[in-house]
Amino acid sequence: MKNKFFILLISVMILMSCASTEQDEAEPAEVILYRMAQDRMNAQNFMGAVESLARIERFYPFGVYAEQARADLIYAHYMTGDYDQAYAASEKFIRLYPRNTNIDYAYFMKGMTGYYADDGLLGNIFSLSLAKRDISGAMQSYADLTEFLIRYPESEYIDSARERLIFLRNLIASSELDGAEYYMKRGAYLAALKRANYVLKNIPNSTETERALDIMKRSFIELGYEEYAEKISSVEVIN
């Protein structure tokens, strides 16, 4: 009797194993890949998650998981520190799924990942770059985040976007004035004056307002316009 029961138990286990194997084989590969990507992200293995999600995008571009995989790729690239790829993934998602319920997230990440590397250290070493420092990336990121604020003023990401905009505004203003200081040292006072004036007119409420006014004042003095320098001195900076 015991032998019959043991044989029956083994038979049931074999049948269950076969059924499980058949279920795994019947499960679509994209489902397996997506589950793997989620497991990897939960384990903080973002490089692995990128690999799984990229395979879904490549081999199953029109499958049921393609849309979500492309959204997850934005975050996965961001967490690996590959901001260029995160930016590209954001742009692609916006282009393919403009009516997605999470489209605000794509616009937000596009602005957040557009500029992360500050070459200010090199700018301080090589003085020429102070006058010709490339801040186009920061300016593009500022424009992207501004677009996000206009499009989705009620988004849950709005506060983070505003904080980033403040950082970018101050960075752009500071870089412009670094160039102005460089021109001052070279005796190009008119060029310095133009840069400082640009900051005051186009980048208001930055932390560099007082510095811009000081550069304008010194430039006017060097150019022989004492009356204008006196007017600059009377301007009150409101923090």
Q: Are 214 and 184 in contact (CB under 8 A)?
A: no
Rounded to whole angstroms, the Cα distance separating 74 from 114 reads: 12
Site of tokens 């900051």: 199
Q: What is the pLDDT of residue 187?
A: 96
Q: What confidence tens digit (pLDDT) does each residue in 122-158 have?
A: 344 344 444 455 788 899 999 999 999 999 999 999 9
Domains of the chain in start order, with CATH, are: 1-109 (1.25.40.10), 115-239 (1.25.40.10)
CA dihedral 155, 156, 157, 163 (to 10 degrees): 100
Q: What is the pLDDT of residue 36?
A: 96
Is the pLDDT reported for residue 48 higher than 50? Answer: yes
What is each CA distance from 122 to 93, 135, 168, 209, in whole angstroms?
A: 34, 13, 18, 24
Site of tokens 């007017």: 231
User: What is the model's pTM?
Assistant: 0.77
Q: What confidence tens digit (pLDDT) does each residue in 78-129 have?
A: 999 999 999 999 999 999 999 999 999 999 999 999 887 444 433 443 444 4
Contacts 24+ apart (CB under 8 A), 205-211: 205/169, 206/169, 206/170, 206/172, 206/173, 206/174, 207/170, 207/173, 207/174, 208/170, 208/173, 208/174, 208/176, 208/177, 209/237, 210/237, 211/177
